Amino acid sequence: MHADITLTVDGRRHQLRVDTRTTLLDALREDLGVTAPKKGCDHGQCGSCTVLLNGRRVVTCLVLAVAGDGAEVVTAAGLAEGGDLHPMQEAFMDHDAFQCGYCTPGQICSAVGMLDEAAAGWPSAATPPRASAEGAVAELDDTEIRERMSGNLCRCGAYAGIVSAIGDAARRTHAAAASGIPRPAREGGRR
Amino acid sequence: MDFLSPDTWAGALAAKAARPEAVPVMGGTDVMVELNLGRRRPHALLDLTRVPELARWGAEDGYTRVGAGVSYTRLVERVGSRAPALAAAARSVASPQIRNRGSVGGNLGGASPAGDCHPPLLAAGALVELASAAGVRRVPASEFYLGPGRTVRREDELVAAVLVPEPRGPQVFAKVGPRNAMVIAVVSFALALDVAARRAGTGIGSAGPTPLRARAAEEFLAREFDWAGGADPSPEAARRFGDLVAGAARPIDDVRGSAAYRRHALAVLARRAWARCAAEVRGGGV
């Protein structure tokens, strides 16, 4: 059985016909040629297919394309605005937060979704019970970042760089929000 | 594969009545794994993500009613203080991406003996609300599970909600696995105390064909617990409690752990759970 669906991907609206068994990941990669989300495990373990689906990070291998009809998808390729990289992408480059790069688009989408979740006061398993009961916004130390990024694996083991890149991006975003600047300015040069 | 996508609860129940073999799917975090790995080839899926009623929660006659489609993330954020053990389990499920999609309803529908939500539901004395086009019934969690993947839910029924009693004392949840994320529990354990009634509820996960209660352990704790002062148990009482919990389990050897290890770990978790509840009573956090 096939279904006609509409997906908005990185700001572009697509109408497509999919087999009802097709995952969102396969629809993006095979039908639309959007290859930023990567297929790692195909059963939700590795996080390399993470995108923002209607603003929340999800693994696209576990979403049926037909169930995503009408949804808005943002992949790592759609985070940049114009010629400027997203601050999270800048931070990943500044901190050497990858080696082979296969998990990177998923890591970056996950990190962007994670900062939104933390800013909304969502607790993690690393948040002290009392702080989470009070709904206090968690301070994103390395333990919090590691726990909140635990759905994304990196087989190269670039975790040290990933954690520091996300911490840096969180501080830049926080500073920009405090000063009312919508997008943080780039710090330093790219290697 | 047919894909049924009703956008009302009445429509969902009518669809299930017409196609009882249709596999209900919410976030897809269990069902999709089976599909992708080719373990299951259903003729029809019943997608429930567009049913607004399932995403609701609210207070109801001393219970918190949580719609079967409330995601783990939302459960932790919005319902956490009204169902502490369930929220603790919810925030340990899989990974953040999975928690943004997965739901208690899916955990109950799948009914894996290792599902994280089951021990807290058993310990807290929760009810499972099942609905069909013919009507609604509420089943105590302790009567819901029949075997691995099997429950009292009939083919024409859907899980509508869980009803968790208002907490009347400390509640804790703990599980054992190789790491925090993406773990199918080797064992899990939940303890919920009712301080006013001086009663205890327990739930054991991943150590039997179904999630289990440890009733002898509950009675022992109810007698021995320092309800007024929250003093730590004596080493003998703690050991006895751990042994009673371990004794209620019916574990097997499998790839995640041996039966002997599971019994041992359960006893440890049970002793810690008592100590944590006692500390909470001492701290006056009840």
Residue B7 has pLDDT above 70, yes or no: yes
- The residue type found at A76 is A
Q: Could A122 and B2 be called an inter-chain contact, meaning their C-beta atoms sit closer than 8 Å?
A: no
When pLDDT is cut at 50, 70 and 90, the band that residue A183 belongs to is very low
Tokens coding B4 = 């049924």
What pLDDT is attached to residue A128? 79
Q: Are residues A99 and A53 in the same domain?
A: no
Give the pLDDT mean for A126-155: 81
Residue B158, domain CATH:
3.30.465.10
**Of the candidates B122, B143, B165, which is a domain's last residue?**
B165
Residues B151 and B71 in one domain: yes
Place of tokens 């369930």: B86
Band of residue B256 on the pLDDT scale cut at 50, 70, 90: very high
Query: ipTM score here?
Result: 0.93
* Mean pLDDT value of segment A121-149: 79
Count of helices and strands (H, E) across chain B? 10, 13
Between chains, do A133 and B81 touch, taking CB under 8 Å as contact? yes
Instruction: Give domain status of residue A186, yes or no.
Output: no
Residue A190 banded pLDDT, cuts 50, 70, 90: very low
Say which CATH number the domain at A54 has: 3.10.20.30
Q: What is the mean pLDDT of chain B?
A: 96
If one counts the domains in chain A, the total is: 2
Residue B171 and residue B123 in contact, taking contact as beta carbons nearer than 8 Å = yes
Average pLDDT over residues B43-71: 97
Q: End of a domain among B107, B135, B165?
A: B165
Best interface-test mutation with B: which of A41, A137, A150, A153 has the largest number of B CBs within 10 A? A150
Cα distance from A184 to chain B (closest Cα, Å)?
26
Give domain status of residue A190, yes or no: no
Q: Residue A184 — pLDDT band, cuts 50, 70, 90?
A: very low
pLDDT in tens, A17-46: 999 999 999 999 999 999 999 999 999 999
Indicate whether B180 and B272 sit together in one domain. yes
Per the CB < 8 Å rule, is A63 touching B95?
Answer: no
Residues of B with CB below 8 A from A20's CB? 1-3, 45
Looking at the structure, do residues A92 and A162 belong to the same domain, yes or no?
yes
Which pLDDT score is estimated for B35?
95
Q: Could you tell me which chain A residue has the CA closest to the CA of B94?
A: A151
Taking 90 as the threshold, does the pLDDT of residue A134 lie above it?
no
Q: Where are the beta strands (DSSP E) in B78-229?
A: 127-132, 135-140, 145-147, 150-151, 158-165, 171-176, 187-194, 199-205
Say which amino acid occupies B166: E
Q: Distance (Å, rounded) from C-alpha A106 to C-alpha A40? A: 10
Is position A189 within any domain? no
Query: Distance of CA A111 to CAs A141, A173, B60, Å?
Result: 14, 12, 37
The pLDDT, as a whole number, for residue A137 is 58
Q: How far is CA A73 from CA A28, A29, B260, in A?
A: 10, 13, 47
- At residue B285, does pLDDT exceed 50? yes
Provide the shortest C-alpha distance from residue A118 to chain B (in Å).
11
Give yes or no for a contact between A102 and A48, defined as CB atoms under 8 angstroms apart: yes
For residue B179, what is the nearest residue in chain A, using CA coordinates? A150
Q: What is the pLDDT of residue B27?
A: 95
Contact A20 B80 (CB under 8 A): no
pLDDT value at position A97?
98
Tell me, yes or no, whether B150 and B30 share the same domain.
yes
Whether the predicted pLDDT of B274 surpasses 50: yes
* Per-residue confidence (pLDDT) for residue A187, from 0 to 100: 39
* Contact residues, chain B, for A24 at CB < 8 Å: none
Mean pLDDT value of segment B6-21: 98
DSSP codes, B53-101: GGG-EEEETTEEEEETT-BHHHIIIIIGGGSHHHHHHHTTSS-HHHHTT
pLDDT by residue (tens digit) across B142-197?
Answer: 999 999 999 999 999 999 999 999 999 999 999 999 998 999 999 999 999 999 99
**How near does any CA of chain A get to the CA of B93, in Å?**
10
Specify if A100 maps to a domain: yes
Task: Give the tens place of pLDDT for each residue, A103-119.
Answer: 999 999 999 999 999 99
Question: What pLDDT is attached to residue B40?
Answer: 92
Closest residue in A to B7 (Cα–Cα): A67
Are B149 and B197 found together in one domain? no
Are the beta carbons of B54 and B44 closer than 8 angstroms? no
Beta bridge partners of B175: B188
d(CA B286, CA B275): 15
Beta bridge partners of A74: A52
On average, the pLDDT of chain A sits at 90
pLDDT at A131: 61
* Phi and psi, residue A80, nearest 5°: -70, 145
Residue A130, pLDDT score: 62
In whole angstroms, how far apart are CA A160 and each of A95, A126, A166, B97, B161? 9, 18, 10, 21, 42
C-alpha dihedral sign at A12, A13, A15, A18: positive
Element (H, E) at A52: strand A50-53
Rg (C-alpha) for chain A, rounded Å, is 17
Single pTM value for the model: 0.94
B96 in Cβ contact with A117 (< 8 Å): yes
- B97:A3 CB<8 A: no
Binning pLDDT at 50, 70 and 90, where does residue A179 land? low
Query: Residue A146 above 60 pLDDT?
Result: yes
Same domain for B112 and B38, yes or no, is yes
Alpha-carbon distances of B59 from A41, B104, B254, rounded to whole Å? 40, 17, 40
Total number of domains in chain B: 2
Examine the domain organization and report whether B153 and B213 are in the same domain.
Answer: no
For residue A20, give the nearest of B1, B80, B179 by CB distance.
B1
Q: Where are the alpha helices (DSSP H) in A21-134?
A: 24-26, 87-94, 104-119, 129-133
Shortest Cα–Cα distance, A168 to chain B (Å): 21
Do A97 and A66 sit in the same domain of this protein? no
State mean pLDDT over B97-117.
97
- Mean pLDDT for A150-178 is 92
- Chain A nearest-CA distance from B177, in A, is 14
Burial label, A3 (beta-carbon count in 10 A; 0-12, 13-18, 19+): middle
Range(s) of the domain holding residue B133: 2-165
Q: What is the DSSP letter of A13?
A: E
Residues A35 and A107 in one domain: no
Contact B97 A45 (CB under 8 A): no
Domain that holds residue A131: 87-178
Beta carbons of A122 and B77 less than 8 Å apart: yes
pLDDT at A189: 37
Evaluate whether B2 touches B22 at the Cβ level (below 8 Å). Answer: yes
Q: Phi/psi at B138 (nearest 5 deg)?
A: -120, 125
- Let me know whether A174 and A91 are in one domain: yes
Choose the final residue of a domain: B128, B149, B165: B165
Please report the pLDDT score of residue A188 as a whole number.
Answer: 38
